[in-house]
Amino acid sequence: MNKDYTFSASDGEKLRVTTYLNKSLFFGKTIVFVHGFKGFKDWGFGPYLGEFFANKGFFVITFNFSHNGVGENKTEFTELEKFAKNTFSREVRELNEIISAFRNDFFEIKGSTPLGLVGHSRGGAIVLLTASKRNDVDAVVTWAAISKLDRYSKRQNQEWRKKGFFEILNTRTNQMMRLDVGLLDDIENNSTSSLNIEKALKNLNKPLLIAHGEQDLAVPIAEAEQLYDWADKSQTEFYKLFSTGHTFDIVHPFNGTSEKFEKLLDKTTNFFVNHLN
């Protein structure tokens, strides 16, 4: 039901991919799931959502960005040097290349099916930036998506540029994870063009579901409200989940689903069934 691939990006970097397919239920629609910051395809709900959507009849593609910090060991951050060098522009390019690989029949089904993108957290911004420039993406769903790429204060950015890096603590693994100044350069150089989320939403012109937990402490629900404010209301639905946070009561390692996450999966399924035509 699931199959692993290694996909070579245009710069030679490796993207690890897992697809999910239930051939007896497949009804000709595809979903690509995009993980967020400090995320990876096998984090917590990743494999579960792959199986869930496959059992609803979708072909599902999940993958790791080449510089997300996770390498051969599927669930540990062992490539912190790559993590430090990651940029938003790289992630947009790599998602574009995954979509193009699908369209060019790289995976086990023909790439001509209707296609939807789901992005969690930072991945939500990446799918919006990508889908706004592709006519072959038919619908988009964001889960707990960010509305701004610059997450730090002016003072923090000044320190970041002065030192050449910025350090963040991964509270789950207790690892100190470094971000090189290249990420800050990427934001500052492209914030009015290729990395402008407001512009991407206003140019999206396709069905969009914005889903967000009301008690999200990592990405406040005000960011979802900002996305909705920028979006075309005639094609956009805002789905608020009450009494839940950034990962919808799911943890890593995965120890089972939750009522809120099941509601989110059902809502996402129905959205794609209705809009992937």
Q: Which residues contact 47 (CB under 8 A, 6 or more apart)?
A: 2, 18, 62, 254
Q: Are residues 194 and 92 in contact, defined by beta-carbon separation less than 8 angstroms?
A: yes
Indicate the average pLDDT of the chain.
Answer: 98
- pLDDT tens readout for residues 27-50: 999 999 999 999 999 999 999 999
* DSSP assignments along 15-52, one per residue: EEEEEE--TTT--SEEEEEE--TT--TTSTTHHHHHHH
**Residues forming a β-bridge with 35:** none
In-domain check, residue 165: no
Cβ neighbours around 95 below 10 Å, total: 25
Q: Could you tell me the pLDDT band of residue 246, with boundaries at 50, 70 and 90?
A: very high
**What per-residue confidence (pLDDT) applies to 25?**
98
Domain-embedded: residue 162 = no
Instruction: Give the pLDDT band of residue 124 (cuts 50, 70, 90).
Output: very high
CA dihedral 215, 224, 96, 268 (to 10 degrees): 70
- Paired with 19 in beta bridges are 3, 61
Residue 244: its pLDDT value, please?
98
The answer to whether residue 154 is domain-embedded is no
Asked if the structure places residue 263 within a domain, the reply is yes
How many residues are recorded in the chain?
277
Within-domain flag for 219: yes
Return the CATH number at 110.
Answer: 3.40.50.1820
Average pLDDT rounded to a whole number, residues 198-213: 98
User: To 10 degrees, the CA torsion angle through 15, 54, 135, 228?
Assistant: -100
Cis peptide before 114 (omega within 30 of 0): no
Q: Confidence band (pLDDT; 50, 70, 90) for 60?
A: very high
**182 found inside a domain:** no
% of the chain surpassing 70 pLDDT: 100
Element containing residue 179 per DSSP (H, E): strand 175-180
How high is the pLDDT of residue 213?
Answer: 98
Q: How far apart are CA 257 and CA 201, in angstroms?
A: 31
Condensed to tens digits (0 to 9), the pLDDT of residues 138-161 reads: 999 999 999 999 999 999 999 999
Instruction: Kindly state the average pLDDT of the residues 106-116.
Output: 98
Per-residue pLDDT averaged across 117-143, rounded? 99
Q: Is residue 245 part of a domain?
A: yes
Q: In which band, very low, low, confident or very high, does the pLDDT at 248 lie, cut at 50, 70 and 90?
A: very high
The pLDDT assigned to 228 comes to 98
Q: How far is CA 88 from CA 125, 182, 219, 274, in A?
A: 9, 10, 17, 30
The reply to whether 256 falls in a domain is yes
The dihedrals phi and psi of 101, each to the nearest 5 degrees, come to -60, -45
By residue range, what is the domain housing residue 59?
A: 2-149+191-275
Which pLDDT score, from 0 to 100, does residue 92 have?
A: 98
Average pLDDT over residues 221-229: 98
Per-residue pLDDT, 70: 98
Quick one: average pLDDT of 242-253?
98
Residue 114: partners with Cβ closer than 8 Å, 6 or more residues away: 28, 29, 30, 138, 139, 276, 277
Separation between Cα atoms, residue 46 and residue 118, nearest integer Å: 12
The reported pLDDT for the residue numbered 168 is: 96
Tokens of 107: 């995976």
Written as one letter, the residue type at 100 is S
Distance CA 184, CA 151 (A): 10
For the CA atoms of 205, 147, 213, 95, the dihedral, rounded to the nearest 10 degrees, stands at 60
Say how many domains are in the chain: 1
Residue pair 107/131 in contact by the 8 Å Cβ criterion? no
